[in-house]
Amino acid sequence: MNDNRIQLLLRYIEEQPEDPFNVYALAMEYRDEQPDQALLYLKQLLAEHPTYLATYYHAAALLAEQGDRSGAEGIYERGIELAKAQKNEKAVQELSRAYRAFQDDDDY
C-alpha cells in the first residue's frame, strides 16, 4: 500500500467525484492490506456508479474471500448481466469464469 498514491487518489476523488476510476484505483490500493476498506470503496462504486463494470469482478471476489457467498453470487450475476448489456464479451467471459470457479468452490 502506497500512502503517497492514496493521498493523490483522494485528491483526485475530491477534484473529480464523477470519475469512478479514481475510487476504483483507491479500492485496489487497499485491496491486499486493508480489504475491509477496499470493500467500502467497491460498495460505493456499485451504489454510485453501477455501470462501472470493472468493479464487479473485484467486489464479488472480495466478498467471497470474506465469506459472504450470497453477496458475492449476486454481484457476479449482476456483473455478467451488465457485461452482456454493454456487449463486452471479454468481461462476460472473465466474470463467468470467475463465477464458475466460485460455484465450484461451493461444491467442496
> What's the pTM?
0.89
- Name residue, grid cell 466460485: 102
Confidence grade of residue 23 (pLDDT, cut at 50, 70, 90):
very high
What are 26-66's pLDDT values in tens digits? 999 999 999 999 999 999 999 999 999 999 999 999 999 99
C-alpha cell at 85: 448489456
Residue 105 confidence class, pLDDT cut points 50, 70, 90 = confident
- CA-nearest of 30, 78, 77 to 50 is 78
Going 32 to 36 to 41 to 46, the CA torsion angle's sign is: positive
Distance CA 101, CA 71 (A): 16
- Contact criterion met (CB below 8 Å) for 106 and 69: yes
Report how far residue 42's alpha carbon sits from residue 105's, in angstroms, rounded to the nearest whole number: 23
